[in-house]
């Protein structure tokens, strides 16, 4: 059972309701998540604006961001996060084979050295951020510009915080069945059951 109630759409803030009007093919999982975050329309609207600006101005690849997001989701055990695949990442070349490689990313032949360095950083960020040293940043500098490193850090922080919130809210009833069992640890590489979210529409960010 979810920790928060769903706000009926007729009670949503008019700005938020207008933002969501006219959308089709929205999954039941997305509807539930939106109806919960609608309790804080200022935060939901700000989040949409932030993500639109962050995504439009980024230099780091969308494929890499999705790999990082899913790896952090595993550490958070955010089942909602693990079940989602964003359309823009799929368009940028993300495959389920790459997601499966996240189980042991350092050994994966289909991940680049740059992606492995970013995932190593994300692992530490999510599990023991005090263990991140100058050596980790030196490794990142082999592959990424200063802007890209800052983007990686801030996006990872966003994924970590937002994912932990969603994990505590416990929206599992509308997830694919493989993600609903709360008695065990799950991983995004264990199941091909996914929900594709069209984040090419800024209303879905």
| pLDDT tens digit at each of 205 positions of the chain | 678 899 998 999 999 988 877 676 677 888 888 889 999 999 999 998 999 999 999 999 999 999 999 999 999 999 999 999 999 999 999 999 999 999 999 999 999 999 999 999 999 999 999 999 999 999 999 999 999 999 999 999 999 999 999 999 877 877 888 888 878 899 999 988 898 998 877 666 5
Under a CB-based contact definition with an 8 Å cutoff, are residues 187 and 74 in contact? yes
Q: How many angstroms separate the CA atoms of 32 and 87, rounded?
A: 20
The sign of the dihedral angle between the CA atoms of 69, 196, 25, 172 is negative
Give 16-38 as a DSSP string.
HHHHHTT--S--HHHHHHHHHHT
Q: How many angstroms separate the CA atoms of 98 and 89, rounded?
A: 12
pLDDT for position 24? 63
Domains in the chain (CATH in brackets) are 12-18+26-198 (1.20.1290.10)
Q: How many angstroms separate the CA atoms of 125 and 147, rounded?
A: 18
pLDDT for position 180? 85
Q: Based on the number of CB atoms within 10 Å of its own CB, is 195 exposed (0-12), middle (13-18) or buried (19 or more)?
A: middle
Tokens of 165: 């919130």
Q: Does the predicted TM-score (pTM) go above 0.95?
A: no
């Amino acid at each position: 059972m979810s920790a928060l109630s769903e706000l009926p759409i007729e009670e949503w803030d008019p700005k938020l309701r207008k933002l969501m009007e006219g959308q089709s093919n929205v999954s039941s999982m997305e509807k539930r998540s939106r109806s919960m975050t609608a309790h804080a329309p200022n935060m939901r609207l700000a989040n949409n604006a932030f993500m639109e600006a962050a995504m439009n101005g980024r230099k780091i690849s969308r494929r890499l961001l999705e790999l990082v997001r899913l790896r952090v989701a595993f550490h958070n055990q955010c089942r909602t996060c693990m079940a989602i695949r964003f359309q823009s990442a799929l368009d940028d070349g993300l495959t389920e084979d790459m997601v499966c490689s996240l189980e042991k990313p350092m050994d994966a032949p289909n991940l680049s050295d740059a992606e492995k360095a970013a995932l190593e950083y994300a692992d530490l960020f999510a599990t023991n951020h005090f263990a991140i040293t100058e050596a980790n940043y030196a490794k990142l500098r082999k592959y990424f510009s200063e802007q890209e490193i800052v983007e990686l850090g801030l996006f990872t922080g966003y994924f970590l915080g937002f994912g932990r919130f969603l994990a505590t809210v416990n929206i599992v009833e509308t997830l694919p069945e493989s993600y609903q069992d709360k008695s065990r640890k799950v991983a995004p590489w264990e199941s091909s059951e996914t929900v594709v979210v069209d984040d090419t529409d800024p209303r879905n960010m």
